[in-house]
Amino acid sequence: MSSVRSSSYRRVVSDHFEPQDESDPAAHRRLRGLLEQIDYTAFASNREVVAQMLGPVDVAKFQRLALAAAHARAAWVAEGLALAGRSHLMSPEQTGRMAQLRATYEELTEVYEAMRRMVERGYLHCSPNGAA
């Protein structure tokens, strides 16, 4: 499955095969049934593996992840502001440091979004604070 990301909006583009030949309705229904079975198998597998690997999840875990992403973003921007105040041209080392800080922020943001999608899709149950 591919996705297109612009700003903070992600649009998922399905790359699943969509049969167009509807000349045989019975064959079409069988294929749809098989595809639903395949999708359910993927769902059940994700639910089992995710729950086993992540264990209990509550809102506090989401908050810790959001705080980590916020700190990473602030560190990245603060570094950029500090560099801009010192000189107009960044050295390769400074550029590398900026890239590392940005990558850290982006990775933490992606982890947060992935965990949120796991809850949305039913792979992971999220309890209120302290009830995990």
Residue 11 has pLDDT above 80, yes or no: no
Number of neighbouring beta carbons within 10 Å of residue 32:
11
Mean pLDDT, range 106-119, rounded to an integer: 97
The pLDDT tens digits for 17-70 are 666 666 788 998 999 999 999 999 999 999 999 999 999 999 999 999 999 999
Tokens (6 digits) for 50: 């995710």
How far apart, in whole angstroms, are the C-alpha atoms of residue 100 and residue 57? 28
Predicted confidence at residue 19, as pLDDT, reads 60
- Listing DSSP states for the chain in one string gives -EEEEETTEEEEE---------S-HHHHHHHHHHHHHHHHHHHHHHHHHHHHHH--EEHHHHHHHHHHHHHHHHHHHHHHHHHHHH-SS--HHHHHHHHHHHHHHHHHHHHHHHHHHHHHTTSS-EESTT--
The pLDDT tens digits for 56-88 are 999 999 999 999 999 999 999 999 999 998 877
Which residues, in sequence order, are CB contacts of 57 under 8 Å at separation 6+?
115, 119, 124, 125, 126, 127, 132
How far apart, in whole angstroms, are the C-alpha atoms of residue 14 and residue 45? 20
In angstroms, how far is the first alpha carbon of the chain from the final one?
31
User: pTM for this structure?
Assistant: 0.72
Predicted confidence at residue 72, as pLDDT, reads 98
